[in-house]
Structure 1
Amino acid sequence: MSTYLHYWGVPGSLPLKKSEHCPGPCDILFSSDVNSQSVKVLVLLVVPGHLLFLYTIHLLRGGHTVTTFSFIICYLSAALSQVVILLYGARRMVRWLWKRGLDPDTFSIPYLAALGDLLGTGFLALSFRLILTLSSSGTGV
């Protein structure tokens, strides 16, 4: 995102076509912007990447783990939610830092990494809590 801004201008002033409106949450996925194309690719890689991660964990444990369908659905939902929120936050933060004349590559990475850790931990905890609640209520999950 900031590379695209560096291409069109200098920190402190947004390019004319970028300064028209502030992007909404749906704009990161459904616009024809160059950054939206990158976001679509990243979102499409979430599910296969995490399925590969789950499969690798299964292999490393020697087949002694049983991953339930409900856990996989909750886990993938949490991962998708985390990535979409991070990408939207990155888009907003990069624009905000750029307008203030700061290099987004330097200033946004620590905040986005911390937000990613917080969201990942929180969503995973919510997933486990949801599975525990569903299994104790007798829904057979």
Structure 2
Amino acid sequence: MDPVATHSCHLLQQLHEQRIQGLLCDCMLVVKGVCFKAHKNVLAAFSQYFRSLFQNSSSQKNDVFHLDVKNVSGIGQILDFMYTSHLDLNQDNIQVMLDTAQCLQVQNVLSLCHTFLKSATVVQPPGMPCNSTLSLQSTLTPDATC
């Protein structure tokens, strides 16, 4: 295996383990009462939203950030992606993931969502002709609020 790939994989694995154990985490995100420990550097590396948030709150002594995000599972999945590079997209979660990624400005997740949408079709609703298909992309709407 490529030494550079091994190096970056090892780094991500170690940061993920630290996050799970709550070691060396320097911020806490609170969404609807659910707390997520994380590392500012990891969040800022993946998200323009977090980069701006942390730069603009550098004088803040309290490193607890209350986020106005609609869906707790969406933020959890995006945080997991940041630390593991794994994201499970399906027809049940694509809208939540797209909305959350847009809100948090996570370009990698937005790209994965758009790729998924280009290749996905909606399960045919009852009563539609058998040869009809709908694009999943046409059924989703951007959400202006997080």
Query: Shorter-chain TM-score: which interval?
Result: under 0.3
**TM-score normalized by structure 1?**
0.26
Q: Structure 2-normalised TM-score?
A: 0.26
Q: Which has the larger radius of gyration?
A: 1
The one of the two structures with greater contact order (alpha-carbon pairs below 8 A, sep at least 6) is 1
Is the helix fraction higher in 1 or 2?
1
Give the structure with the higher percent strand.
Answer: 2
